[in-house]
Chain A
Amino acid sequence: MRPAVGALLSLPFLILIPGCASGPAEIEAISPGAPNWHLLRGRASLPEGRYRPTNCGPETLCAALVYLGIPATITDVESETYIPSIKGSVPPRIVSCARRKGAHARVSEGGNVWKLMQHIDEGSPVIIEVSRRGQYHYYLVVGVNPVERVIACAHYGNLQHQLPFDLLDEIWKAAHYRFIAFTVAKAEQLAQEGWDFLDAGKNEEAEKSFLNALKLQSDEGKALSGLGKIRLLQGKLEEAQGFLERALKSIPGDPEALNNLAETILQRKGDIARANTLTEECVAGQLRRIKEFDEELAAAPPGTQEAIKRDIEKARVNLFYYYGTRAQALEANGRLKESIEARLESLKYPHLEEDDPDAPARRHLEIGLTWKALGAPDKAAEYFRKALELTKDENFRKRIREATGK
């Protein structure tokens, strides 16, 4: 053989060596009792899908679901999560597919090996998103060895990938240490998810989540409260009251459930004295909650402050409406002047500017009408004028004029 031929033959091997050296090592499956390993109990195996090698999303998700005991086939998961046009998958499809299958999937940033170890010890499989040179890839982590400073990924056949902490840090850092942790959805998580949907007006999705939560735990208070609110919005008042009464047995003092039950009773022209008590408890509870949030914010580390501020803002907005129901209950009980005070108190809190722009105008109109009923036309006229100034909707302006006889 001529020397040039030998040199040419060795070239590909020279290229292969650094390539392999910088990737994860391939090892024989780690045995369950191996020392120093924190391992998921049992085996999480990667299925082989149709779109290999670009289907790490469906493969890792399918392995995680099956590990959790949720029936899933790779064909099914691929059809839901793999996007052939981009030869890959995107996190929203992974998360929503997991949800449809009955798992809870939470995407977070800022992961580290200790968090991975914690999830593994709790029996929760974790997908980590890693990146290098603009390529993104998922690994399903099934074990951490803090002594040897390596992590182990899901099985394929009798093999596993193993990544040293240094390499893991290098490739995980680029994706801001993003990870998706999977658990079998618990009733409480499903109820929370339902409220998340309901808050955005996705009532159908919310109802599904609430019903799934109740299948797991028939007295889950938040799920009952959510269904109560949906039925109230649908005008199915008797059903609404049933759900809300049951909810309050599990979550007594919950301001949202109290407000919606009071509103239901008022609309049904039921026990107005009870509605009054419920709204009193609701407002007091919400004020207490805001105070607790304020205290939490004062003691919170900088990283968590934004989330608490969002909770405070949301609680303050809700209070605008809770004071409105309080006013209705007072009015129904003949306490008209106190109802005006409650409405004025409501105006001290923010309303939903984008979703309910006419809320302050409506409140002023209600106050004006109450003054009118109390025989104070000057004060009534002042609030009617303010209502007209504040309204942003021409149709509502017409309704104000009709209601005030102008």
Chain B
Amino acid sequence: MMKRTTGLVASFAVMAVLVLRPGIAMADVVPARKAKADRDAAKVEVRLAALGVDTATAKSSADNLTPSELQFFADDPSRLQNVGGLTWYELIGGAAVGIFVATGVMLMAMHAVQ
């Protein structure tokens, strides 16, 4: 009899928890780790803006990266560079060609004066 009463009380308690309990308990699905990813994205955007990229392009560039990629660049923003500027030998070569042309023009001008 005692056991039966205890069982009934326990069952009632479970029912109370399951049925009457207010809807506070939330699903224990691991939430998204948004805050860190957002901070990393902001760092990437700031760096891109410093390189001269406009705000909208900087934002879309960061938005398309995965959080791991964002973290890689945010850990050291100097990993983000404007790639495609002329290489040093192109610069030197360009300067040399410029001087060559200028010299030619100067020589022609001198010749014309004589």
CB-contact partner of A23 in B10, B51, B89, under 8 A: B89
**Contact, CB under 8 Å: B82 / A196:** no
Q: B91 at interface (Cβ–Cβ under 8 A)? A: yes
Question: Which partner residue on chain A sits nearest B36 by CB separation?
Answer: A354
CB-contact partner of B96 in A19, A53, A334, under 8 A: A19
Nearest Cβ on chain A to B93's Cβ, whole angstroms: 5
Q: Which chain A residues numbered 4 to 45 have a C-beta less than 8 Å away from chain B?
A: 5, 8-9, 11-12, 15-16, 18-20, 22-24
Q: A54-B85, A92-B44, A260-B29 are in contact. Are A373 and B17 (CB under 8 A)?
A: yes
Contacts of A331 in B (CB 8 A): 14, 17-18
Taken residue by residue from 171 to 199, chain A's Cβ proximity to chain B (1 for < 8 Å, 0 otherwise) reads as 00001101000000000000001001111
Question: Which partner residue on chain A sits nearest B107 by CB separation?
Answer: A5
Binds B, one of A62-70, A117-125, A131-139: A131-139
CB-contact partner of B32 in A11, A336, A355, under 8 A: A355
Binds B, one of A81-89, A218-226, A290-298: A81-89
**Contact, CB under 8 Å: A85 / B29:** no
**Contact, CB under 8 Å: A200 / B32:** yes
Q: A322 at interface (Cβ–Cβ under 8 A)? A: yes
Contacts of A137 in B (CB 8 A): 83-85, 87
**Contact, CB under 8 Å: B93 / A20:** yes
CB-contact partner of A132 in B34, B53, B64, B87, under 8 A: B87
Q: B2 at interface (Cβ–Cβ under 8 A)? A: no
Q: B8 at interface (Cβ–Cβ under 8 A)? A: no
**Contact, CB under 8 Å: B35 / A263:** no
Contacts of A233 in B (CB 8 A): 29
**Contact, CB under 8 Å: A369 / B92:** no
Q: A280 at interface (Cβ–Cβ under 8 A)? A: no
Q: A399 at interface (Cβ–Cβ under 8 A)? A: yes
Nearest Cβ on chain A to B99's Cβ, whole angstroms: 5
Question: Which partner residue on chain B sits nearest A370 by CB separation?
Answer: B17
CB-contact partner of A176 in B79, B87, B96, under 8 A: B79
**Contact, CB under 8 Å: B81 / A129:** yes
Nearest Cβ on chain B to A304's Cβ, whole angstroms: 15
CB-contact partner of A92 in B27, B65, B91, B92, under 8 A: B65
Question: Which partner residue on chain B sits nearest A127 by CB separation?
Answer: B83
Q: A303 at interface (Cβ–Cβ under 8 A)? A: no
Q: A273 at interface (Cβ–Cβ under 8 A)? A: no
**Contact, CB under 8 Å: B81 / A175:** yes
**Contact, CB under 8 Å: B66 / A193:** yes
Contacts of A20 in B (CB 8 A): 89, 93
Q: B68 at interface (Cβ–Cβ under 8 A)? A: yes
Q: Can you list 10 A-B pairs with a CB-CB distance of less than 8 A?
A: A18-B92, A87-B85, A92-B61, A96-B61, A135-B88, A136-B84, A137-B84, A138-B84, A200-B36, A200-B67
The 6 closest A-B pairs by CB, nearest first: A88-B84, A201-B32, A23-B89, A324-B28, A19-B92, A96-B64
